Chains A and B, each alone.
Chain A
Amino acid sequence: MSRSPYYRSPEKVLKGLGIDQPEDIWIEAIAEECDATIVYERMEGAEARIIGFNDRAIITVNEGSPLERKRFSAGHELGHWMRDRGKISFTCSAITFAGEWSNDNAERRANRYAAELLLPDFMFVPRAKGLGIVFATVHILAKVFQTSLIATAIRLVELGSCPAMIVCSEPGRRKWFIRGPDVPDVIWPRDEPGRDTVAYDLLKGGQAEAGSVDIYADQWINYRDSRRYSLQEDSIKLGSTGLVLSLLWWKNEQQLLDIEDED
């Protein structure tokens, strides 16, 4: 897909403004530098929208949302502006930010842009180094970067120190998932988490204690002999969306090593 001639990668935008610390990621100034002005207004049924005309855009963000959501919404709309300038007016809801991470469409691309802008590799990697792929880590990093839980969790899977996967489930099916770079492509999460998983209980309306649990890999993974291995699962409910987010982490990497040997 061809990019807008106005497109600048998040890293290029940040470096061009001399930003190298999370506390300096001033989203309003960044958007203004890209010819988009962020305004905060009360919005009903939407989290943010963008209207563009010629070389300028106005991004409206729901003033009633938490700070992390507002920052991500603004970054998401800026992603539309950078990538889809010229066909511009988008209105995006909370479910867009939670649900659009795997299909290759304008919403996913805008989500990716926001994640890379607010949680850039060169700042995130050193801070995530050596930390477990669990929601406790996500909370710490989300506070540092003032970002939403989902975006931070995805970046932890992509850029963290251990092989991991993030799976978003809704009752009856898997909504999306993302593998970390060290997880082979042959590894796929099951369409529905197994009965022994925390996610299964949460999807059935149950409660779960915070923290990760050791679980047979076949409860999550669709790959032969998975029963012989284990992985760590940390699952949480995503507010009122009905979605459950699960971080899966191979603390013991034997399964991945064995798959590598098969190749």
Chain B
Amino acid sequence: MPNRSRDYELELFNVMNALADVEWEMSESEILDELGGDGRDLETEAESAREIFRRAVKEYRQAPLRDAQKRYEQRVSNICKRDFRIPNSASERRELLSAFMARKPDFGASILTAQHREFKDLTDIDVESYLKQLTELGAIESSSEKEDSEL
């Protein structure tokens, strides 16, 4: 085993550079002869190369899309795992949401005019969902955070 560790990346880089130099110095007809010499169909080869380039360009351009998808999955996973510590009873939950809406009348009005004419029309599931989402967004402090901040 050699004492000095080899830099394989650098060696590969040098080999590829040397190959590129050779290709660079070849004339167009020499390249075509070389490619066609072993019986390969040049059009097929060219299309295959174009496809590789297209995919590479698309991969590069869509990196932000894949990042956004990863962030989305992570966020949804966090929401699912989160312990929201909202009150156990339906009536306490209603009280909490009602109190929030009283503090933020614009928000309350938009909930009520958009779908439910009156607060009592909200189902227990709606109330629970609103409370969890408002907590997730930081509009309502969760009980655990409140306890922590009181300590």
Is the Cβ of A45 less than 8 Å from the Cβ of B72?
A: no
The verdict on A215 contacting chain B, using a C-beta distance below 8 Å, is: no
Is the Cβ of A32 less than 8 Å from the Cβ of B107?
A: no
Interface centre among B71, B79, B114 (most CB of A within 10 A): B114
Task: Select one of B65, B69, B136, B138 contacting A18, CB under 8 A.
Answer: B65
Interface of A is mostly: mixed
Interface of B is mostly: helix
Task: Select one of B68, B116, B133 contacting A51, CB under 8 A.
Answer: B133
Is the Cβ of B133 less than 8 Å from the Cβ of A58?
A: yes
Interface centre among A17, A24, A31, A54 (most CB of B within 10 A): A17
Cα A88 to Cα B63 with chains together (Å): 30
CB-nearest residue of chain B to A27: B72
Residues of A within 8 A of B106 (CB): 87
Is the Cβ of A45 less than 8 Å from the Cβ of B129?
A: no
Cα A18 to Cα B65 with chains together (Å): 7
Task: Give residues of chain A (18-36) contacting chain B, Cβ–Cβ below 8 Å.
Answer: 18-19, 24, 26, 28-33
Q: Count of B residues near A, CB < 8 Å? A: 33
The verdict on B12 contacting chain A, using a C-beta distance below 8 Å, is: no
CB-nearest residue of chain B to A42: B125
> In the complex, what's the smallest C-beta–C-beta distance from B117 to chain A, in angstroms?
11
Cα A17 to Cα B129 with chains together (Å): 31
Residues of A within 8 A of B66 (CB): 29
Binds B, one of A89-97, A227-235, A251-259: A89-97
**Residues of A bordering B, CB below 8 Å:** 16-19, 24, 26, 28-33, 37-39, 41-42, 44-46, 49, 51-54, 56-58, 60, 87-93
